[in-house]
Amino acid sequence: MFKKNRVTAFLAVSFALSLAAAADAHLGITVCRTLDGRLVTGHGDYQGGHLHVPERVFEGGFEQTLTSHSPGFNAQETADAMPEGYTILPAQTPLGFDAFAFTLPEGKTNLGFWDGNGDVAFSPVAAGTTLTVEQHSSGLSAVLDGSGSGAAGFDFAVTSAAGGLHEHLLFSLGSQDGSPAEGIYLWSFVLSMPGMETSEPLFILHETPFAPLTLDLAVSWVEDHLDTLVPTALPGDANGDGFVSSADLDIVRANWGQTGEPGAVPGDLNADGAVNSADLDLVRANWGQGSQGGGPASVPEPAGAGLLLIAGAMLGLNRGFRQRS
């Protein structure tokens, strides 16, 4: 009797453990949408149930090789199992991502780092440190290097006939000297799908194998600081410092004529994939808007001086065109 109870208890425990292991293995980024068509993510088992939406912060540790297949991406196929206000993805539709530059005290970056000691304090990674996001089957990849602009991603999954998906990308950390600093790496991206409103910026934290055990602290910190990491976009604010000034004009000028993935080119303020007079107009129309250093809104330069600056900048640009032609 005693023996049988012990066997039963053992079986119960191992069953519970295997359930927990199965749930962990499949925990990842569950993608769904609001009823009015915005992509939203949550934490949940891809087979259904336990879905918490919306959630924007996810984690995936690095193996000793400084690579990770976590978190994976899932989408459920059963609309009935979705929380109220959310539904499953459309069938046979591609899902893509683009890396997003977020705002830290030092400025915008596409890859942040914290060594895990003391208070949570992310800053852009050291020069030469990169995070590569790649898909083995397609060979497509995107490289984040800590610079202040986003990076074009790629379509990485297509939903099933029932709207589901389950896909893992490979995340690899690298550095020029081959040994990136131990700690926690933070990056951000948006998800997109044809006919759907793009997701809000999402965050993933990856912890190196020998980092201090502070990942939970960092996750909470990111969740608490989403408003500062992703400030509400101010039209014309090219450097994301919350103020439209000559610094923004300089960014538009420095990238004049550049083209690329919409939203990924510095100075492409209207996110149409090109830096041109439409972006300059946004700076001009919003000159002096916002506030510096988080203080009350102020305009340090008289509007007349600002317009003179812009006029000068435009003359400079025109000269640039003549020199090139």
Return the number of the residue (207 or 268) whose C-beta is nearest Ca ion.
Answer: 268
207 is a site residue for Ca ion (CB under 5 A): no
Asked if 279 touches Ca ion (CB under 5 A), the answer is yes
Nearer to Ca ion by Cβ, of 60 and 236: the residue is 236
Nearer to Ca ion, 152 or 215 (CB): 152
- The set of residues, in sequence order, having a beta carbon less than 8 Å from that of 164 and lying 6+ positions away, is 46, 74, 75, 76, 77, 88, 89
Judged by CB under 5 A, the stretch of 30-38, 103-111, 164-172, 266-274 that binds Ca ion is 266-274
Does the protein bind Ca ion through residue 268 (CB under 5 A)? yes
Among 272, 292, 314, 317, binds Ca ion (CB under 5 A): 272
Q: Collapsing DSSP states into helix, strand and coil, what is residue 15? A: helix
Strand stretches in 67-183, DSSP E: 67-68, 72-75, 86-87, 94-100, 102-104, 107-109, 112-114, 123-124, 130-134, 141-144, 155-158, 165-167, 170-174
Neighbours of 89 (CB within 10 A): 23
State the nearest-atom distance from the C-beta of 248 to Ca ion, in Å.
4
Which range touches Ca ion (CB under 5 A), out of 119-127, 207-215, 239-247, 303-311?
A: 239-247
Q: Which residues contact 129 (CB under 8 A, 6 or more apart)?
A: 111, 113, 145, 146, 173, 174, 175, 176, 180, 181
Contact (CB, 8 A) for 271 and 321: no
**Considering the rule CB under 5 A, would residue 241 count as an interface residue with Ca ion?**
yes
Q: Least Å distance between CB 234 and Ca ion?
A: 8
Binding window for Ca ion (CB under 5 A); candidates: 14-22, 90-98, 267-275, 301-309: 267-275
* Whether 200 contacts 34, CB under 8 Å: no
Contact 246, 254 (CB under 8 A): no
In the complex, the smallest distance separating the C-beta of residue 287 from Ca ion, rounded to whole angstroms, is: 11
Q: Does 248 bind Ca ion (CB under 5 A)?
A: yes
Nearer to Ca ion by Cβ, of 199 and 239: the residue is 239
Euclidean distance between CA atoms 46 and 163, whole angstroms: 12
Establish if 255 lies at the interface with Ca ion (CB under 5 A): no
Amino acid at position 273, single letter: G
Q: Does 70 bind Ca ion (CB under 5 A)?
A: no
Asked if 101 interacts with Ca ion (CB under 5 A), we say no
Under the binding rule (CB under 5 A), the answer on residue 115 touching Ca ion is no
Q: Determine, following the binding rule CB under 5 A, whether residue 270 of this chain makes contact with Ca ion.
A: yes
With CB under 5 A, what is the number of residues at the site for Ca ion? 10
CB 258 → Ca ion: shortest distance, Å? 9
145 makes contact with Ca ion (CB under 5 A): no
CA distance 131 to 89: 28
- Distance from C-alpha of 133 to C-alpha of 142, rounded to nearest angstrom: 5
CB of 244 to Ca ion, least distance (A): 6
How far apart are CB 245 and Ca ion at their closest, in Å? 6
CB of 105 to Ca ion, least distance (A): 15
Question: Which residue, 208 or 239, is less far from Ca ion as judged by CB?
Answer: 239
DSSP tag of 171 = E
What does each C-alpha distance from 148 to 5, 89, 121 come to in angstroms?
61, 32, 18
Q: Amino acid letter at 174?
A: G
State which of residues 191, 237, 263, 284 lies at the interface with Ca ion (CB under 5 A).
237
Residues in contact with Ca ion by CB under 5 A are 237, 239, 241, 243, 248, 268, 270, 272, 274, 279
